[in-house]
Amino acid sequence: MSIARPGGRVQPGRPGDPKRVGPYRIVGRLGSGGMGTVHAGLDSAGLRVAVKVIHPAQADDPEFRARFRREVQLSARVQGPCLIPLLAADPDAETPWLATAYAPGLTLDEHLAAHGPLAGSALLAFAAGTAQALAAIHAAGVVHRDVKPQNVILTPGGPRLLDFGIAHAADGTSVTRTGVMTGTPGWVSPEHYRTGSAGPEGDVFTWAALVAYAATGLLPFGAGTPDVVAYRVMSEEPDLQTLPRTLHEILGRAFAKDPADRPAASGVAGECVGLLAAQTTLVVSPATNPTLAADLVAAKWAGVPTPDDPTWRRPARSPKRALGVALAIGLTVGSLTGGVLALRSSDSTAHPSSSAPSLADPSAPAHADPPVTPSSGTTPPVSAPPTPSSVDTDEATIATWHAARRPKGEAELETSAALSHDIGLGVGPDYDYDARYDIGFAQPRREIYISINGPAPAPHIIQSIAKDACYSLRMMADIYKDLPYDEYVLVDGSTPTTPAIVWEDDFRANTGCVTQAVERNTVGSGQESDWQPTEAGLEAARIPSIDEEEIRVATEAVQKLFMEWNGNSRLVHSPRYISDENTSIGFAPHEKVMYVWTTKPEWNQTTRGEWAEKAATVACQAVLTESRARQEWVYALYAVAVIDGAGDTQFLRWGSAGSCAT
């Protein structure tokens, strides 16, 4: 069973579908099969995941449960490019499940039906990416066994090979039933037809068929009954005449009838990457903006159509939220990380006058003047987390603030009291600012509203309130594990007739409660104390940018790095020399991080450290300069990494714009 349904579109849930699976909130279905159902899920930070849940009847079968446990173990062993990582699993649960990253896009066969065959750089990128995925699988001692068009998704970042449902370990420990023929007719190697054996060489054979199909839209051994197709696979050669000549020799060797004559997946991956690099050298003119990602597969994948799916009920907050026009006050909006400081909302409807509701009526609007402080309430049980059907995808507005209610239950009442105390203490006499803070809860939206009722808050006041609120909420979420909120919203209520949303942030995702780009929050090593770069962020940075300002900044920074590191050297074959071929800068919008990385497996740790210091200086100055210059710039963090020959990443330096030497 694949983890993605056609087009990756979320289908509505059905009666009996779970509300939650493990740590994930279920928002719909992605597909179903003989072994279970794949649900669309969200984690607490809004990350989209695919959650495979086994059918109850299968879960009651000890043999099947053992096979599923083995599938989880095998999937956890496999990490690499163009694969979909396993995030979590519980094979011993009453209803076993596993969760992987969500891969948006069409499967290869769907793409061919809608857009026709792949060609040019996209075809080479497809061949290289899928071969790299198989190489990573084989390096982990696993054989895929089911390489076919339905098991490849064309995502915005490149092809992704999926479905280890019938994978098995190279040591012979199989997760398929003994004696049962696996694989799809036409997508099976000759030796598998003859003897049932399936090794890495068989995956290489079906990889060649996959690439040929991607290039032509035709089945490499034709259509027909399974026995006819099997005869052709074992006895005839595929027609490669319509394929690009650059691929003839590679695919010809991969299609060898004798598995001993086929190259390894790592070998064909290297050859395809070489072809892609050679084509890039020929087609890119000096006037063209240089590629910002060293990963040629991702770089040449831009433009492959990927359908958008608006039916996810609560996507992650946009890292580039539109702010309208510039603030008249002095704070640079573009320098904010972890939150958004905005102008008065266009939804600034008049604040209706009303009598103050009693805390005994938790459904009353939270923005009305309270007769008593929230801490005076009692402690009934906290409400259950919201059901998926009640989640709203809209950004917070004055209307949603009006709909928020007073706190109820122990967790909400204590959270409200903690917020009022912590904010009042943090933004008090030292700021010469006196205000009352009314707290409201919008459980269906997972939002907590904080209304600032006092003098008009200056930008630095708003930032301080945001930071104190974030720390307070993170503490309360640690105390009350089931607190069903992750967003907090600040409302400027200084003018009752025109209240405004002035801040919105995810306190769970903003682990350092960062509210400024230029925060001097460093430790002795120069590293940031409250965040670390991630492989997921680096993967996102490998996707070529289409933003002109990001391209400009990366181009200027990488050229400066070349000058700083290479100096006047023209020794391109020197181990120390860096260039566009091995060094890149890219951006991870969801993390607001600028990544700088180089692929230099031959460097020792001393050379890596020297380069990282240079790269960190260049990167820090780049994000600092842009944060100061432009309101729209959202990147306040940077990270520097070296990648070795096996694809392993070593993050060496990271920090914020505030750590720069000025």
The token duo for 314 is: 């609560």
Do the Cβ atoms of 580 and 291 come closer than 8 Å? yes
Do the Cβ atoms of 598 and 578 come closer than 8 Å? yes
Count the alpha carbons within 13 Å of 416 in the hemisphere toward its beta carbon: 31
Paired residues of 490 in beta bridges? 450, 503
Residues 6+ apart with CB under 8 A from 440: 365, 366, 367, 401, 404, 405, 406, 448, 449, 450, 451
Instruction: Write the DSSP symbol of residue 257.
Output: S
CA gap 84, 38 in Å, rounded = 14
CA gap 335, 132 in Å, rounded = 38
CA gap 534, 545 in Å, rounded = 19
Per-residue b or e along 236-263, where b marks 16 or more CB atoms closer than 10 Å to that residue's CB: eebebeebeebbeebbebbbbbebeebb
Do the Cβ atoms of 42 and 28 come closer than 8 Å? no
Radius of gyration of the chain (CA): 28
Out of 146, 492, 505, 506, the active site residue is 146
Residues 6+ apart with CB under 8 A from 589: 319, 320, 540, 634
The token duo for 624 is: 């600092």
Number of neighbours of residue 452 by Cβ within 10 angstroms: 25
Do the Cβ atoms of 398 and 365 come closer than 8 Å? no
Query: Is residue 146 annotated as a catalytic residue, yes or no?
Result: yes
Sign of CA dihedral 197, 199, 203, 204: negative
CA gap 270, 276 in Å, rounded = 10
The token duo for 426 is: 């943090």
Backbone angles phi, psi at 650, to 5 degrees: -120, 110
Q: Which strand ranges, in their side-by-side order, compose the sheet holding 649-656?
A: 583-588, 593-599, 637-643, 649-656
CA gap 417, 99 in Å, rounded = 37
Q: What is the 3-state secondary structure (H, E, C) of 493-558?
A: CCCCCCCEEEEEEECCCCCCCCCCCCCCCECCCCCECCCCCCHHHHHHHCCCCCCHHHHHHHHHHH
Number of neighbours of residue 519 by Cβ within 10 angstroms: 20
Written as one string, the DSSP assignment of 7-40 is GGPPBPP-TT--SEETTEEEEEEEEE-SSEEEEE
Q: How far is CA 273 from CA 202, 209, 363, in A?
A: 21, 18, 61
Instruction: Write the DSSP symbol of residue 387.
Output: P
- Catalytically active residues are 146
